[in-house]
């Protein structure tokens, strides 16, 4: 059987490199590795290079730990890699990329909903006071 090299395979399948999160860890304990892999490979399968990690569960100091290898991320972005949405969001929060629009919009939505619930609570209290 002819063993095609990875470059030829890529050309044949027409994929691209993606910087994405590969899930690992155990049951009820996820752990993501930020990884440069071909687009068509499986999520946890063979990757080209690991560029960092992301722990979604907060630790004892209530921090979520993220690590990046900025040098290699720059290299892969220069080679034409596409980051996925969560990776782009994380990098935006880190300051390496501009802040993702969805983070801003979701924060605004959250503030609005919190303001709304606060207003509703205040109205309920006023009603209760009015009743009393």
Partner 1 sequence: MFQAVVRSRTPVVRFLSPRAGVLLETVRGRKSRTDPKAKSKAGRIKTPSPVDPVEMVVLKERFTEYNLIMRALRMEFKEEMLRKRYEEETGSLAEERAKQESEEHRSLMAWNDAENLRLRKIRELRVQKEAEAAEQRTREEALLRQQEFERYIQEKEMEILQLQEEAKNFITLENLDERIEEALDNPKNYNFAVNKAGKTEKRTMLQ
Interface with partner 1 by CB under 8 A: which residues?
1, 3, 6, 9-10, 13, 15, 38, 40-43, 45, 74-75, 77-80, 97-98, 100-101, 104-105, 108
> CA 17 to CA 68: how far, in whole Å?
17
What is the smallest separation between the CB atom of 84 and partner 1, expressed in angstroms? 13
What is the smallest separation between the CB atom of 3 and partner 1, expressed in angstroms? 7
Q: Give the angle 117-120-121 at the CA atoms, nearest 5°.
A: 85
What is the smallest separation between the CB atom of 2 and partner 1, expressed in angstroms? 10
Tell me how far the alpha carbon of residue 5 is from its chain's centroid: 31
Looking at beta carbons only, is 65 or 102 nearer to partner 1? 102
Tokens 């999160």, residue located: 21
Looking at beta carbons only, is 29 or 43 nearer to partner 1? 43
Looking at beta carbons only, is 65 or 94 nearer to partner 1? 94
What is the smallest separation between the CB atom of 98 and partner 1, expressed in angstroms? 5
SS (H, E, C) 31-88: EEEEEEEECCCCCCCCCCEEEEEECCCCCCCCCCCEEECHHHHHHHHHHCCEECHHHH
Looking at beta carbons only, is 29 or 64 nearer to partner 1? 29
């Amino acid at each position: 059987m002819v063993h095609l090299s990875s470059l030829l395979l890529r050309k044949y399948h027409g994929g691209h490199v993606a910087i994405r999160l590969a899930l690992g860890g155990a049951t009820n304990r996820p752990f993501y590795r930020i990884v440069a892999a071909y687009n068509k490979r499986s999520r946890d399968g063979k990757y080209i290079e690991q560029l960092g990690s992301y722990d979604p569960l907060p630790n004892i100091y209530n921090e979520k730990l993220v690590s990046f290898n900025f040098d290699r991320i720059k290299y892969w972005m220069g080679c034409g890699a596409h980051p996925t949405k969560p990776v782009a969001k994380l990098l935006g929060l880190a300051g390496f990329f501009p802040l993702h629009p969805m983070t801003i919009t979701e924060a605004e939505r959250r503030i609005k909903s919190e303001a709304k619930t606060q207003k509703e609570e205040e109205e309920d209290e006023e009603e209760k006071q009015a009743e009393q």
